[in-house]
Structure 1
Amino acid sequence: MLKSIQTSTMISTTDLEQLAEIELLRDEEEEDEEQSDAGPPPGLPPRRRSSQDAAHPYYDVARHGILQVTGDDNYGRKLVIFSSCCMPPSHQLNHHRLLEYLKYTLDQYVESDYTVVYFHYGLRSSNKPSLRWLRDAYREFDRKYKKNLKALYVVHPTNFIRIIWNIFKPLISHKFGKKLTYVNYLAELRDHLNCEQLIVPPDVLRHDEKLRAAQKGGPPPSVRSPPPRPPLPTQQFGVSLQYIREKNSQVVIPPVMSQTVTYLKQKGLQTEGIFRRSARVQLIKDIQKLYNLGKPVSFEEYGDVHVAAVILKTFLRELPEPLLTFPLYGSLQDIIRVETSLRVTTCMQIVGNLPEHNYIVLKYLACFLHMVSQESIHNKMSPSNLACVFGVNLARPPQGSMSLTALTPLNIFTELLIEHYHTVFGSRCPPGQVTP
């Protein structure tokens, strides 16, 4: 039936809308069957709402946890997550306010490349916005929002989604349409995203479990992860700072960092939007492979400063323990409770608790980012802008994913590191310290 819908030129939009409603009702019946089963699988927590601060300008919408911004994808692009199952019944949610909240959130990130993950499961006739609202929303999201959206992943699509897509085809450009990817199982996201950073609602996890259990022949092959292989002696990505130091003649600054920073200091300090742009995916993978095999990398050959910038962010993001370490994560989050006049001093104290090697590497990075910020008149990257890019790559919680509310204190802390570099790092001079 769906194929005939997609190929027919005679069917009206009204007919498509009616078919969409029919498909949504079928989805609801399947959901009702799932929810009548004997409880969630063991180990999955109940649904929980976002703990947004009541002072948030869109607290009435944000408190539901419909929208989350968490970390980056595998290519250094900010992740924005929309979860239909978190939407309350329509009479409890002002959809106009929802649209304003979407724009308010995206406005903080659309100057950089970003990725959207849409969890479709949980959309019902009781909580879905009208088709008119969807059309208005698409028109509201003008070129500013669409230009830097690099990928849109629709997870657990149904016929309803495909029919809606058909309704909107006259409004959607071919270029935008190429950014859409349907994802049938959560495991398929692993090829594109860092799933450890992905905030997946428990309802979606349960639904995915049922889909995989119902599949003949067991779960999809991508779910069966091979046992981890020991890292190569030359490995640079995905291994600890200590491992890199031991395997590289006790070098203090990891080679990936020293080489990217050296190149960017020479070529990229005045590049507008440095660290905001992504690079060709396959090229980044190829460079990572060269590093991991111990082969030389010359960024001059690529002629694009954004390549080196993405490699630097990727290196930091893939450290098994973030540069600011797991034990200090709670202290970083508490910075928002500190009086503004005392925050620099608090930042110094937190940084002073880092292990020696982490401190040296962080100082090296912060010094470089301070240099970048000094050229903000050209590159448009102020300490605040740099903090939005690097904060999520410097720290993350020991368990689970980082919530939208956790980003604010992390960005504040990172901005302090960059803007007040000389003060924060001036009082401690560890042995063997190096500067960029």
Structure 2
Amino acid sequence: MASSENIIYRAGVDFESRPMVVICACNLPDPNVIDYDTILSVVLAQLDQFVENDYTVVMFSGGALYRPGWKWLFKAYRSLNRRYKKNLKALYVVHPSTWPRLILGTMNAVISPKFSAKVHFIDNLSQLARVVPLNQINIPAAVYKHNLKFEDAITLPEDQQDNAHRVFGASLERLMGPNGEKGLPKVIQDCIGNLIANGLYVEGLFRRSPSSAMLKQVRAAYDRGNPVDLSEYDVHISAVLLKLFLRELPEPIFPVSVYAKLQQQKRGEQTKTVLEFIRTEVILEVTHINLVLMMEVFRLLKMVADRHESNKMTAYNLALVMTPNMVRHDDVMQEIALSSVAAHLQRESIVEGALTLGTVIKVMIEHYDEVF
């Protein structure tokens, strides 16, 4: 059941620094279960916080499963007395179907013709971005999905197209600070948090692919700086976003210098246990901020592997799907070779020719506590 906070909530401010109130029709509950008069009282109570000053309302009409009846809508409209309407500067109705156009048109003609000048019908999210700052609005997943009926991608106005919020392909130094003082990037926090809460027992986690169209929408939202609630989406989107983030880092999370050390081991120049090699040769090559990120990612992977009887993702399976996102090499064949994973590797010794980055990652997942 949708909470009142999901139906109406405060966003940021519009281009004239007026507070924005967002109303989401997609989060309206079944009227046979919830009394809509109660919802009306909640909506009015929220609006009471803003009506004494100028404010803007953005109403997402698309993606709604339930729609209130005419009688209730006229009652709701009449409840908006002069103090609500006076300081309302604009009502943007996004993805209006015939239903809201007809209702608002009828109300404006019959009850308040002057109010119609404040109502603006917005066909898609690109158009909405031209009238309000899109990155300050938490847009529900149902709205993104509905928007795909009208446009494949959201296009921001030229004066809003910058990389200030871009997270995919950005350096860890910019996102986390030179010493990691800013903490984990928000997208990583969100992905890990959602996967721990909702994905640990999902079969094929990190292996299965979600809707590519919705994945693009969520990725673009993070790059715009939009707040995102990943719990509204297919949990596989969180898993793929995490892989994409690692894959698109300007520098791989495992530095290239590690590759040479792996080559030395393959030639049998040294004899060490796998864990000793990881602790003394691999981890010491990783920068501080990479290590902070690595610890959280591998903590999650360990939690997933520990539940492999349910999710079918053993440390071996996870290493297979994760390693290609952590390795980078100009030679494609070398990259493929580095990504291979030994199915069976004795903990006590390194078998000549068997140690690859994929195998290192498998062991790091299996023995997280000993590595970190």
Relative contact order higher in (CA < 8 Å, ≥ 6 apart): 1
Q: TM-score, normalised by structure 1?
A: 0.42
- Which has the higher Rg, Structure 1 or Structure 2? 2
